Amino acid sequence: MRRIVIVVAVVAASLVASRTADATNECRGLQVCVPVAGPWVVADAAGQVSFQLSCPAKFVVAGLDAELSRRGVDVTFRGSLGSPVNPGITTSRSAEFLARLLVAGAPATFRPHIGCVPAAGSGERFPTVVRPAPPVVPVAVQLAVRPGVHRYAERCAAGKRLTGANHSVGFYTAAPPGAALVRSIAVTQRVSGGVVRLVVRAGSLPGVRAIVQVELECA
């Protein structure tokens, strides 16, 4: 493993569902901090969902938090190997959140938050017999969701090989999206010949901005 998974939010039973943005802690203890909030991302009962959230240019992630629409969602993030565990070493300009739905039931969502601080050097990794290669950071592509059926094809840049892909659905709403809104979008994904093909089916989205984020692991 070139990256370690560090828990940033424990099982949702210990959290109050659907906290307000004012209650998040991504900037707690940081003197200079730019908060960035993501959309409400759908947690899939079929497996782990990931979502990448980025800081502005010349900033790195120094704090993380997440809001949950209900109990039963476990949220973590990927961190890089290195010492000490610090912004610029463990984290970079973006953070990849990982979520699992532990308790089945009504649709569940989470909203990721990051606190960004000015970049001031990346530090050094700890010495090993064979130094680990830099972690593979997935390439995130955001697709705006429109009503109807739409098809997309994404691939890695020239000279890169696709080793994996996943997608997530997010809603930019002030409050967690209701079950009907969550179920109004369905996505199917297929990988063939180094190309990720998606079919996005969406119903009516009155006044709601929704996205599908595709993450490509390119080696």
Domain edge (last residue) among 56, 83, 118: 118
pLDDT in tens, 161-218: 999 999 999 999 999 999 999 999 999 999 999 999 999 999 999 999 999 999 999 9
pLDDT in tens, 136-153: 678 999 999 999 999 999
Asked if 19 and 49 sit in the same domain, the reply is: yes
- Please check whether residue 123 lies inside any domain of the structure: no
Asked if 149 and 89 sit in the same domain, the reply is: no
Distance CA 44, CA 169 (A): 10
Asked if 96 and 149 sit in the same domain, the reply is: no
Asked if 107 and 8 sit in the same domain, the reply is: yes
Asked if 85 and 50 sit in the same domain, the reply is: yes
Asked if 97 and 177 sit in the same domain, the reply is: no
Number of domains comprising the chain: 2
pLDDT in tens, 54-71: 999 999 999 999 999 999
Predicted TM-score of the model (pTM): 0.80
What is each CA distance from 88 to 10, 33, 59, 180, 182, in whole angstroms? 23, 15, 9, 40, 35
